[in-house]
Structure 1
């Protein structure tokens, strides 16, 4: 009986040693044949700082922190008097330049041409009278009937009449030719420049209204009515409803088990029974040390790869920074 006790003790020790060395092997087999990979991460939601593109005084702020808004909703408005006046001035300038351009394209009216023709005819008649007076003075001067001064006056009058006739002739030709093509092109360019300035004024007027670029929730209301803001001064901070993704990290040993496009089940600690469908959209090509905020001190020196899981149809219960669990089936690394 006393000899049997040591034998039992030795056998028990050998059995315990065998169990001790078999446990790591069993764990390795379980890891290699796992059909599900579990990771942990945090919800990441995009935020947008909303600001006016123009400066001015805030006249109205319509939403507050926590308000759920839709794309296109009016959030705030500036006092737009000065921008409205700029639009009116631009419209008047465009109208004036268009009228000038149309006038050049149409050319002179027939009544204007007829008037120029009549003026030219009158100048021709004056030239004929002046020529007759000159001829008469030239014949009478040798006889001494008129003085040399009278002949000089007749000569000058004929020259002046000839100049006026030539001037009216050129004026008539100018009207008959119509507007120059260069003048028409310059007027058309001025119209286009004025129209561009008008579009800028209208755009500035529209920018006095701050509208939501996407669906989301107002996180912060930074400015109040009466405040003077410059372009790009933040007025609200908007948390977008979509996209919503999870920022997580995976170790190098499991990197071969995932790939972009793989489907994932996402559940929060608040409601672990409810899961969302997600898709791996990005896996970082560069390794980094595990972030100190998500791992224990023993694992902070491990190299991991950051990945992003986009949630297909996020719900209202998912909030910025919320911890979540990722579960997705995957093949063994050796089979990929």
Structure 2
């Protein structure tokens, strides 16, 4: 009886490469197979570009406005102020002429509109200059920081998903079955390999009730296969508390003695010649039991 571990991808995808086959001896951490990664690689490139943009914007917010930008804003304020002053003077002149009938109301209305537009432009330019002098608000910087953190978190999750396209051996052992081929679409629910744990080889045997006293946990036993003369050493590691194959009605002592109990024996000097399902003869002095 050889215990097995199952190996499966933690990520869905199409198998790109299989590096081992049935019978391969593997160590924990060995690379067994990979999935296609084109989609993940492209997504990582896109995220790297997005992170670069987000970091640049955050750096700009933290650095404040450059002197050149402030100078341009000041020039715009002076220009819009001059336009506004001229429009204000023109409007006043037109309004004074209206009382004497020298100009029409339509002309005065047009001058007023021109002045109002110029005033709005001047106010907007002044506000822009104030903002540039004050630099970015703390709220804007916080928003920029959160954006950088969010994109970096997305990239971290994608890196984990990319790492999960590589399947590693979870334990030392031998590949006992290979269940998928290159090109197959798989999910985490699909077992790709079964790995026999060679360090834990057990023999399952059955003993009758009268033999239980000689098959207690810890009892040393000897084992022999039909295929070779070597004697293996073993130790009883488990005795089932329940009888098996028990008749429905147990009335006599003779019938009770026909009951059997399952025991598990760990082979202490196992080698590669012991295979799963192989018949073994177990010797517990002074009697023997044959396991099939």
* Structure 2 length-normalised TM: 0.74
SS in 1 for 2:156: helix
Structure 2 partner of 1:288? 242
Cα displacement (A) at 1:219: 0.8
How many Å apart are 1:171 and its aligned residue? 1.7
Instruction: Give CA-to-partner distance per residue, 1:6-53, whole Å, 9 cap, x none.
Output: xxxxxxxxxxxxxxxxxxxxxxxxxxxxxxxxxxxxxx4321222222
SS at match of 1:219: strand
Question: Which residue of structure 2 lines up, in the alignment, with residue 105 of structure 1?
Answer: 62
Shift in Å at residue 91 of structure 1? Answer: 2.4
Q: How far off is 1:217 after superposition? A: 0.6
The offset of 1:75, in angstroms, is: 1.9
Instruction: State the match for 1:242 in structure 2.
Output: 199
Match of 2:272 in 1: 316
Point out where structure 2 has 5 or more consecutive residues left out of the alignment: 247-253, 286-292
**2:189 aligned to which of 222, 232, 240:** 232
Where do residues 172-321 of structure 1 align in structure 2 (5 Å cutoff)?
172-245=129-202, 265-270=220-225, 273-275=231-233, 280=237, 287-290=241-244, 299=257, 301=259, 315-321=271-277
Q: Tell me the number of residue pairs that the alignment of Structure 1 and Structure 2 aligns.
A: 272
Distance in 1 between the 2:101 and 2:243 partners? 125
RMSD, aligned CA: 3.6
Give ranges in structure 1 of 5+ residues lacking alignment: 1-43, 329-336
1:151 is aligned, of 80, 92, 108, to: 108
Specify the structure having the higher radius of gyration (Cα): 1
Q: Is the 8 A contact 1:49 1:235 kept in 2?
A: yes
Provide closer, same or farther for how the CA distance between residues 135 and 81 of structure 1 changes in structure 2, counting only shifts above 3 A. Answer: closer
The secondary structure found in structure 2 opposite 1:234 is coil
Deviates more, 1:232-241 or 1:97-106: 97-106
Alpha-carbon deviation of 1:165?
1.5
Q: Spell out the pairing of 1:68-87 with structure 2 (5 A cutoff).
A: 68-87=25-44
